[in-house]
Amino acid sequence: MDGILLNTKPLNLTFKVSAASTSEAYANTPEDLHFVQCGVSVQELSLALKKRGRSIKTSGASNGQTVAGSMSTGTHGAAIDYGSITEFVVALHIIVSPTRHIWLERASYPVASDVLVNRLGAERVADDALFNAALVSFGAFGFIHGIMVETEPQFLYEAHRERLPFDEKIHKMMQRLDFTNSPLPHGSERPFHFQIVLNPYDLKGGAYVTTMYKRAFTSNYISPLSALGGVVPGDDAPAFIGGLVGAIPDLIPIAVNALVAASYKPYSNVWGTHAEIFTNTDTHGRVLSSGIGIDPKDSIRVTKILFELNADAPFSGIFSYRWVGGSTATLGFTKFKPTCLVELDGELSDRSIEFCKQFWAMLDAAGINYTFHWGKVLELNQHSIRKMYGQNNINAWLDARKTLMQDPASMRAFTNDLMVDWGLDGIAAGERTA
């Protein structure tokens, strides 16, 4: 392997933020802020906040990722009106060269006082465009040492997972997030979290619909670990789908049905904090996970394409859908406002990868606009990236990288072959090697 791998896990301190460290112009109170080193896992952050009676605002389903890693690829959950992890990040401490480190926040959203920035010995950079570009930058903007996150008071989820007919009522919710007179547990009440899983081999049994409503915190509830005997209600397909190993095509439906029935069970009226509902689940086996972002109005068209393809070449896995609010990150793949994430989770095999490739080719042929999750299986080149995000956004991201990193040697150090292939290194071909 070319390059170096950094283990950031030992950088795992988290801090409350004092009034002296908070800008007087900050829109909220110091109590809302929490500062973490990059190697803190999302689950560790969640647990640290729980002790303070606070909570993160959203996260992915499993939370073993680091805060820096999940932010850098735009990791999301299913907070339909909120967005991804990037949306609660309000400042970054980044080492951009061997001699320079910066405190980066938006000019329009001041957070840290000079006391904090000076104590770190960092150079303050307050700029909305630079900050938005750095949010989703998959390691290209230097070494992110610290992240300031905005939190909220502890709350509870009231969670349900049920099987409902995959019919017009669900299609309406999928395409428009319109919950009027919905068959969900609280009818027309708009859920905080909405997610659908389709097992293509058991559609007659209905779609799996996970709905979570946000409720005020009370200590008067039974935590989900004891309620569900160890199965965590926020778990999604990657947590169990690795159990599908080497099924021959004719047996894929039977294998998928058996695994889903055993592992992904409906439940109702389960209550828990964010840290309890979304934990750090261990995965078993080798999992293929791919995710694309689309405009929700295309969700049924995309589903038809998936079923058409699946009829020819059965996928060893299932299809999941989550929805999140649009991203403020320049290259956030949740670019639609809101975005529907269509996820293919299955056995890691050449056949599964071929299925994904054919799926993406069919989306292209159908003229459907989509993006790829930066942290999952994807297929990009410099033309498709520009088609997905637009040349202006790509230019803004490249300009921001150059402005922040300044030093060509540092830019080279944080460039890999993939970035060169994607035309995202921003270094002239003749200058790629020192």
Reading phi first (left if > 0) and then psi (alpha if -120 to 50, else beta), residue 432 is in alpha
Nearer to ligand FAD, 74 or 110 (CB): 74
**Which pair of structure tokens corresponds to residue 96?**
């951009």
Smallest distance from ligand FAD to CB 308, Å: 26
172, 173, 179, 184: CA torsion to nearest 10? 110
Q: State the minimum distance, in angstroms, from the CB of residue 324 to ligand FAD.
A: 9
For residue 236, the minimal CB distance to ligand FAD (Å) is: 6
Closest approach, Cβ 227 to ligand FAD, in A, equals 22
Where do contacts with ligand FAD occur on this chain (CB under 6 A)? 8, 38, 60-62, 65-66, 68-70, 72-73, 75-76, 138-139, 143-144, 236, 238, 283, 373, 375-376
To the nearest whole angstrom, how small is the minimum distance from the Cβ of residue 94 to ligand FAD? Answer: 8
Q: Choose between 236 and 425: whose C-beta lies nearer to ligand FAD.
A: 236
What is the nearest approach in angstroms of ligand FAD to the Cβ of residue 280? 9
Amino acid at 112: A
Nearer residue to ligand FAD within complex by CB, 8 or 175: 8
Q: Which helix (H) or strand (E) holds 417?
A: helix 417-421
- Secondary structure of residue 69 in the 3-state scheme: helix
Quote the least distance from Cβ 192 to ligand FAD, whole Å.
15
Q: For residues 37 and 182, which CB has a smaller minimum distance to ligand FAD in the complex?
A: 37
The answer to whether 291 and 341 are in contact (CB under 8 A) is yes
Residue 66 or residue 327: which is nearer to ligand FAD going by CB?
66
Burial class (CB in 10 A: 0-12, 13-18, 19+), 250: exposed
Helices (H), 64-158: 67-73, 114-120, 128-135
**Calpha distance 123→146 (Å, rounded):** 14
Residue nearest to ligand FAD (CB): 69
- Angle at the Cα of 363 from the Cα atoms of 351 and 417, rounded to 5 degrees: 65
Instruction: Describe the crossing of helices 299-312 and 350-365 by its angle, rounded to 10 degrees.
Output: 130
Tell me the closest approach of the beta carbon of residue 19 to ligand FAD, in angstroms.
28
Closest CB to ligand FAD among residues 7, 219: 7
| CA pair distance 347, 237, nearest whole angstrom | 11
C-alpha neighbours within 13 Å on the C-beta side of residue 425: 23
Instruction: Compute CA distances 157 → 58, 84, 217, 378, whole Å.
Output: 12, 18, 9, 32
Contact indicator for 414, 141 with CB cutoff of 8 Å = yes
CB 302 within 8 A of CB 364: no
Whichever of 15 and 221 has its CB closer to ligand FAD, that residue is 15
Round to whole Å and give the CA distance between 142 and 404.
9
Complex with ligand FAD: residue 68 or 117, whichever CB lies closer: 68
Which residue's CB is nearer to ligand FAD, number 200 or number 238? 238
Residues linked to residue 324 through DSSP beta bridges, in sequence order:
339
- Least distance (Å) from ligand FAD to the CB of residue 298? 19
